[in-house]
Chain A
Amino acid sequence: MRRMWAICSKELQLYFLNPTTYFAIAVYVLLSSYMFYVSFVGYQPSILDYRLILGNTIFMLLIIIPLLTMRLISEEFRQGTDELLLTSPVTVTEIVIGKYLASLGLLLVLIACNLVYPITMSFFGTMNIPMLLLSLLAVFLLGAAMMAIGLFASSLSQHQMVSAVIAFVLLLGLWIIDSFTMNSDIAQKWLEPFSISSRIDNLVKGVLHGPDILFYLTLSLLFLVLSIQVVERKRWR
């Protein structure tokens, strides 16, 4: 546990002492803010509904998460530091989870940035707090699953950009999986449950739907296990 925290702490330092992270967050915030401005101020009178803004900001995660996770493991491979890690007393599980927790820390920063919008809205009327909290929970769960996928993609290549592209393709596939099923009832029935984007619909409308929450948790777990398997392969090769 202590070793896992050490890895997490090291990764967090790498994140927050790296200027690139701040530039990436700035781009994320700039685009999110612009979308917020268009949605909230663009139509008058403004509607005090965070859900109208959320759709645009979560789409930004699709682009930013591969960029934020691409470095996590592939950088170790590129620099050869993976050998040091793998021969140290730290287990692969601790390495992967440590790095994943660090990415969740970064995700919390992104969510905190998103809080600026409902706070701005609250100056003009009363926000629906339970729905707001559920929306933030939705973003966290979705982001956490996406971070796990990004981490897995990072374990597949020593080239950061390749990892980012793999993560983007995987995420995009799971994001739009339900649109492949428009013309087939059977495909819809079997593929729709795996859509990561439509799974947040219940949470953002104010319904704490058990299967959705379990889906995000098990999806995160699945990609963490797969990441562990991929890194483990390095150890015995």
Chain B
Amino acid sequence: MLEKALTGGPGYRAWMAFLLAVFATGLFFYLRQLELGLGVTGMSRDVSWGLYIAQFTFLVGIAASAVMLVLPYYLHDYQAFGKITVLGEFLAVASVIMCGLFIFVNLGQSPRVLFVILHAQPKSVLFWDMFVLNVYLVLNIITGWTVLGCDRKGVPPPRWVRPLIYLSIPWAISIHTMTAFIYAGLPGRSFWLTALMAPRFLAAAFASGPALLILICLVLKKWADFDAGEKAIQALARIVAYALAVSIFFVLVELFTVFYSGIPEHQEHFRYLYAGIDGHGNLVPWMWMSAVLAVGALAALIHPRARKNERVLAAACAAVFAAFWIEKGLGLVVTGFVPSPLGSVTEYAPTGPEIAVALGVWAAGFLVLSVLYRVFVAVRREAGSVEPSAEGLRNGP
């Protein structure tokens, strides 16, 4: 099937060429980082994780969100998702690949990355995170590819994929929970030391992932002649609305706990985020923007008429995606380090090379995604109006 990715119109080719150029630029700057050390980034002794790990954290959420299609379709027999479940699985594949790359470029000694396996430490959450992410990647490649391949031939998918699909449901939860545990289990980092971390991560993931999928479906409808169907898109939009509401609620719960308890150490980080401390407030405008985008999007999404308007829906989904990208992709990681254990406020700002590397990783992800979606669209178009054969899988004995 992969050969289908090699053909495409001028638009597709231009898009791929653009992605390749961004990726090549990122690679160039990564090689410089490899040569000179992490000093080319904006990270410091006090803020030792930055853009890379933040992107990783955000993308684990996008990867986990595939479950929002798989679960209703395979567990609740929600037919409308039949056409696009594979889209979710392929999005997960591309996201996990980006996660891996972000971890990789964040290492001070990336050539030693295999030590995580060679000297595996079962007490380290990072080890388990790597493990669950890799298994999740394999699960989604196998299930997505197999189901799509069978659709192409017009045969029901083999019986053996079903357990894999079921397994991928709790597994999706596990990848984001494990990522939350990287943060939530650390003493002395009060910003992260909250049992709400994993639930918050999941709620954010189930809002931002489906929001991205809606945007992708709208793009495919307009430019790739693939219509996911009004019903599926509206169902996704409702998922985004609920998850967004839960997510905002979680943030408010966190704020209450921190500020009503009045423990200074816990308050400081939130102060840094939303008001700045001692004149340091790099993130303040971003965080307020994120808050406004999230609340605005919620207003649009809970209103049925607004949600049904494709333009409003697209804008709301873009807002949700941006809001959570800011929250997790910028704010969450850095703020855990500010103020430092010794009370100093060191600000962090990514450098040019760091941003170039990050964009390069995103480009790599979108390259994978474009190839997979190109195959998907071609197969679905060939299959024409034939209903996806995963039907047979679902209804099988």
User: Do A and B belong to a common assembly?
Assistant: no
| Contact surface of B with A, Cβ cutoff 8 Å | none
A binding-site residues for B, Cβ under 8 Å: none
